[in-house]
Amino acid sequence: MRNTRNFDTIENKDFSIEPLLESSYEQVRFVQCNFTDLAGIDFIDCVFQECNLSNASVKNCKISDTEFIHCKLTGVNFSESKDFAFAAVFENCILDYAIFERKKLNKSVFSNCKIHNADFTQTDLSKCKVHNCDFWDAVFDGTNLTGVDFSTSKNFTIDPTANNIRKAKFLSSDLAGLLTKFDIIIK
């Protein structure tokens, strides 16, 4: 997606031992790095590739036009990051137990991701791009899913009475995930 730009690259660094020194990074590519604390740091137009950010703190972190490719983001609480200009692309990532509560994600993309047990409570996913994701036991409660295309994704349980699913797209074979609350038998 950003192949035409010139990025500074930081590779094979363990930032859990040696913390990031700058308060802002723009057009930087992080490759095979480990992170535990990104609190208060701004990432603008950056790429994280094959990085481990599991349980990393993102409190007051700005994530704007930033891509995560083949990254492990287990347990990251994105609801603590800055709301202004939040826009992220998650491609082939593990987002198990990630928290997006009350986050506005309509400029974000989730593609080929494993998103087990994630929390999307009161999140705005309207117009968010979702492709081929696994939402096993993810929580959707008071979530705005207007226009989201779930037709290539699986394992979601969404209560249509507790979430806005207007114009969202689902395969007929996945309707059971919308009817779980009603305790009915579908054959």
DSSP 127-181: T-EEES-B-TT-B-SS-B-TT-B-TT-BS----TTTSB-TT-B--GGGTHHHHGG
What per-residue confidence (pLDDT) applies to 173?
Answer: 76
> 130 has which bridge partners?
110
Q: What backbone torsions phi and psi does residue 44 show, to the nearest 5 degrees?
A: -120, 120
pLDDT at 1: 44
Distances (CA, A) of 110 to 14, 104, 127, 128, 133: 26, 14, 12, 8, 7
Q: Cα dihedral sign for 83, 129, 113, 67?
A: negative
pLDDT score at 181 = 65
Q: Name 113's Cβ contacts closer than 8 Å, sequence gap at least 6.
A: 90, 91, 92, 93, 94, 95, 133, 134
Give 10-residue mean pLDDT values along the chain (187 residues).
67 94 94 97 98 98 98 99 94 99 96 99 96 98 97 94 94 72 63
User: Given this model, what pLDDT does residue 45 score?
Assistant: 97
Phi and psi at residue 178, in whole multiples of 5°?
Answer: -95, -15
pLDDT computed for residue 127 by the predictor? 87
User: Are the C-beta atoms of 116 and 138 separated by less than 8 Å?
Assistant: yes
| CA-based nearest residue to 108, from 124, 96, 92 | 124
pTM strictly above 0.95? no
Q: Give the pLDDT confidence score for residue 174 in this predicted structure.
A: 74
How many Å apart are CA 151 and CA 139, to the nearest integer? 18
Q: Residue type at 150?
A: F
One of 4.10.91.20, 3.40.80.10, 2.60.40.420, 2.160.20.80 is the CATH number of 30-182, namely: 2.160.20.80
